[in-house]
Structure 1
Amino acid sequence: MASEPVNVNEFQELAKQVLPKMYYDFYTGGAEDQFTLKENVEAFRRITLRPRVLVDVSRIDMSTTVLGYKISAPIMIAPTSMHQLAHPEGEVATARAAAASNTIMILSYSSTCTVEEVASSCNAVRFFQLYVFKRRDISAQIVQRAEKNGYKAIVLTVDAPRLGRREADIKNKMISPQLKNFEGLISTELDCDEGSNLEAFVRAVYDDSLCWEDVIGWLKSITNLPILVKGILTHEDARKAVEVGVAGIVVSNHGARQLDYTPATISVLEEVLQAVGGKVPVLFDGGIRRGTDVFKALALGAQAVLVGRPVIYGLAANGEDGVRKVMKMLKDELELTMALSGCPSVKDITRSHVRTECGRLRSQL
């Protein structure tokens, strides 16, 4: 690009210029027709703002807490896999940017840097994202390593008993590198005549027999860390999560990479929140590209949002500094949105500050 990016969408073009096509497609792609991939972003555009005026916004406080940990703004780094495909420093660079941004990073189980490398790279609050393997002993080991190395919560991803059909990866015959967290425990180097070897790996090792009655109880038996579940889209599953005693919920459709034609996450956020009834915190994941998007998710009840692909784009474009800039752009845009909407603090952002499609239809009746 001829000039420095002025918003996070422009980092995507920079990432496209520097990444091999296989890796760019891996990061950007969704499942099947990619309907949900587009909807995650488009659904935000159908929500409009209702700004309040003549409010003292000379000081804006964006800080909030998640599980008792204070962060500078309600914008966290989502778990995304294999950062070294985007930049040689991988998750270590992302972790340092998270620390500099005073926010929480959720490290993916499929990180290309180890749990220990990321933990020793900087002093910051980190959570660890988990899939449960058929070999529970391997999953238990990685959870215990995360706890030993100071990670503060386990984020269990529950929407991937099998890998979604990501057709770009199939066409590109996507090759997943050996994951350092599992060296000596399990190999990702599986023979696969067609499609991606990542799909073959998931089919071979993920436990697709998991159920509510089993997995949360098992996790609680091996760790004292709070457990959040990521991948909730319905009020039925939200209630079930609360019943089994999770510490929090992440409303997510896996970045539209699992089941296509699921709804955009922002369109089901209120359904989940109503079911939870304030009993546990609810975080939001999916389609955040602007500070206005963050504001809208907070207005609809999310405690904080997770940002995935934009972080990868920043990392690919300029390493740690690129991630820092992405986070700063979103924070700056959120601060401006709060000021122009008459919200001097996060707690001042309410449902009355946004109008959804349903609200518009009701107002016309």
Structure 2
Amino acid sequence: MTETNGYFQNDNEKEINVLNLQSLEAEAEKIIPKGGFGYIAGGSEDNWTLKENTEAFNHVQIVPHVLSNVEDPQTDTSIFGINVKTPIMMSPAAAQGLAHAKGEIDTAAGIAKAGALMSQSTYSSTSIADTMKAGNGAPQFFQLYMSKDWNFNENLLKEAKEAGAKAIILTSDATVDGYRESDVVNDFQFPIPMANLTKFSEGDGKGKGIGEIYAAAAQKIGPDDIKRIKDIAGLPVIVKGVQSPEDALLAIGAGADGIYVSNHGGRQLNGGPASFDVLSDVAKAVNHRVPIIFDSGIRRGSHVFKALASGADLVALARPIIYGLALGGADGVYSVVEHLNDEFKTTMQLAGTKTIEDVKNSKLLKK
């Protein structure tokens, strides 16, 4: 164990046995301190939308094809010309030092080992450059929580580009924080500094609650901000938090290079729809004009399959990967992604699909 400001962080580095992704939560809860675990695991209000995110995958069924001459399914794919070994990617998630002493550095290393795509948060425990370096050249995206202070935004965007980020993810659904009762019950405050806040003079996040962190964030985000970010970064901009066809079209019309369908893992608007329930309608509106990333609720290989068959190009998740980080560091992260990819390959084989393109063209039945 490593102690930082009285907060105990696991520092194990080992591959872990994964029965399924759901089982990791209980194991991680044993070693992540209560406040940190509540922050990672919790959703907003009574967690209704958080639970619906995973339940929604039961609203459709995969139609398998036999006699299809398929063996050894291939999971490699690409986005923005970037080749990856799997369509499974790491969602941007804050403060991973709550789960492990090396935080995002180990996450980036484990994701790179799995041949997947990493995205890092503005509110990371480790700096943009250090997190990027840990991936040893593997592709990474940088997620921007837009600040009221455009000097702060510009500094982050320029550092991300200089460090080698391949795209910017603009989070649009977190202009205020959702009411997260687990943080209230635990009186949670961040015990570990956030490297980007420290470097660019917005405090360091240490000793603050999530509401105080969000107080510096922009409460107004509009279409014009997409162009401004593109002009500063010179990189593709993906708008995260889209949950309706209308917003997808608005973002594309404003210059967005990608759409990220997500409800923030049920951490923001409780009572909103499960992300999967809106994915196909968003995808129809987008009509292949830009790539679509999807997250919120992915826990099984069949979920990955269903999301891709509903219009996603990449499928992202965070909590189970962070639990793997807590249990085994970089190797734990690798173990989780490999297990989910193996489940996905099994689903591909049994559904009679050889490639990601085959999966995208698969038929789903609505219950």
Same fold (TM over 0.5): yes
Gaps of at least 5 residues in structure 2 are 1-15
Equivalent position of 1:187 in the other structure: 203
- For residues 55 and 175 of structure 1, the distance between their equivalents in structure 2, rounded to whole angstroms, comes to 54
Aligned with residue 327 of structure 2, among 299, 310, 317: 317
Q: Quote the Cα distance in structure 2 between the aligned partners of 1:6 and 1:217.
A: 44
For residue 83 of structure 1, the aligned residue among 96, 115, 128 is 96
Distance 1:253 1:323, change over 3 A: same
User: Distance between the aligned counterparts of 1:350 and 1:181, measured in 2?
Assistant: 37
Distance in 1 (CA, whole Å) between partners of 2:156 and 2:275 is 29
Post-superposition offset of 1:209: 2.1
Q: In the alignment, which residue of structure 2 is the partner of 1:8?
A: 21
Structure 1 match to 2:265:
255
* Residue among 113, 124, 130 paired with 2:126: 113
Q: Percent identity?
A: 37
Query: Where does residue 70 of structure 1 map in the other structure?
Result: 83
How much has 1:190 moved relative to structure 2?
A: 8.1
Maintained 8 Å contact 1:190/1:200: no
Q: Which residue of 2 aligns with 1:210?
A: 221
Give 1:350 deviation, angstroms: 4.1
Counterparts of 1:304 and 1:258, CA distance in 2:
22
User: TM-score if structure 1 supplies the norm length?
Assistant: 0.93
* Alpha-carbon shift at residue 4 of structure 1 (Å): 3.6
2 CA distance for matches of 1:118 and 1:189?
Answer: 18
1:344 corresponds to 2:354:
yes
Deviation of 1:153 (Å): 0.4
> In structure 2, what is the equivalent of residue 171 of structure 1?
185
Aligned partners of 2:324 and 2:336 also within 8 Å: yes
Alignment-derived partner of residue 295 in structure 1: 305
Cα distance in 2 between the residues matched to 1:34 and 1:13: 17
Q: Secondary structure at the match of 1:76?
A: strand
- Find the counterpart in structure 2 of residue 199 from structure 1: 211
8 Å contact kept, 2:195–2:204: no
**Offset from partner CA, 1:228-281 (integer Å, 9 cap, x none):** 000000011011011011110000001110000110001000111111121111
CA distance in 2, matches of 1:190, 1:150: 27
Q: Report the Cα offset of residue 13 of structure 1.
A: 1.5
Aligned counterparts of 2:353 and 2:300: Cα–Cα separation in 1? 17
The alignment status of 1:131 with 2:145, answered yes or no, reads: yes
CA distance in 1, matches of 2:250, 2:109: 36
> Of the candidates 123, 127, 143, which is equivalent to residue 157 of structure 2?
143
Asked if 2 retains the 8 angstrom alpha-carbon contact of 1:157 and 1:229, the reply is yes
Q: 1:259 to 1:220 in 2, by over 3 A?
A: same
Structure 1 window deviating more from structure 2 (116-125 vs 293-302): it is 116-125
Q: Deviation above 4 Å: which 4+ runs of structure 1? A: 188-191
Contact 2:198–2:204 (Cα < 8 Å) also in 1? no
- 1:294 and 1:168 mapped to 2: Cα distance? 28
Q: 1:220 offset after TM fit, Å?
A: 2.0
Q: Give distance in 1, aligned partners of 2:290 and 2:132.
A: 27
Alpha carbons of 1:154 and 1:189: their partners in 2 closer, same or farther (altered >3 Å)? closer
Q: What code does the residue aligned with 2:184 have?
A: I
- How far off is 1:342 after superposition? 0.4
Aligned-pair RMSD on alpha carbons? 1.5
Alignment coverage as a number of residue pairs: 349
Cα shift at 1:352? 4.3
Q: Which residue of structure 1 lines up, in the alignment, with residue 4 of structure 2?
A: none
Residue aligning to 1:160: 174
Residue 306 of structure 1 aligns to a residue in which SS?
strand
Deviation sequence 1:163-197 (CA, Å, 0-9, x none)? 11101101211112321112251114588xxxx62
Contact map agreement 1:188 1:198 (CA 8 A) in 2: no
Distance 2:146 2:205 in 1: 19
Structure 1: give runs of 5+ residues left out of the alignment: 358-365
The letter of the residue matching 2:198 is E
Which deviations, in whole Å up to 9, do the C-alpha atoms of 1:268-313 show, x marking residues without a partner? Answer: 0011111112111111111000100000001111111001111111
Work out the CA distance in 2 between the residues paired with 1:17 and 1:201.
Answer: 27
What amino acid does structure 2 have at the position aligned with 1:208? Q
Deviates more, 1:310-319 or 1:174-183: 174-183
The answer as to whether partners of 1:81 and 1:109 remain within 8 angstroms in 2 is yes
Aligned to 2:169, the other structure's residue is in SS state: strand
| TM-score, length basis structure 2 | 0.92
Give the counterpart letter for 1:303 in structure 2. Answer: D
Q: 1:134 to 1:304 in 2, by over 3 A?
A: same
CA contact (8 A) 2:18 2:336 kept: no
For the residues of structure 1 that align with 2:211 and 2:61, how far apart are their CA atoms? 39
> Kindly tell me: are residues 24 and 347 of structure 1, through their superposed partners in 2, closer, same or farther at Cα, counting changes over 3 Å?
same
Q: Distance in 2 between matches of 1:201 and 1:235?
A: 30
The counterpart of 2:281, out of the listed 236, 260, 271, is 271
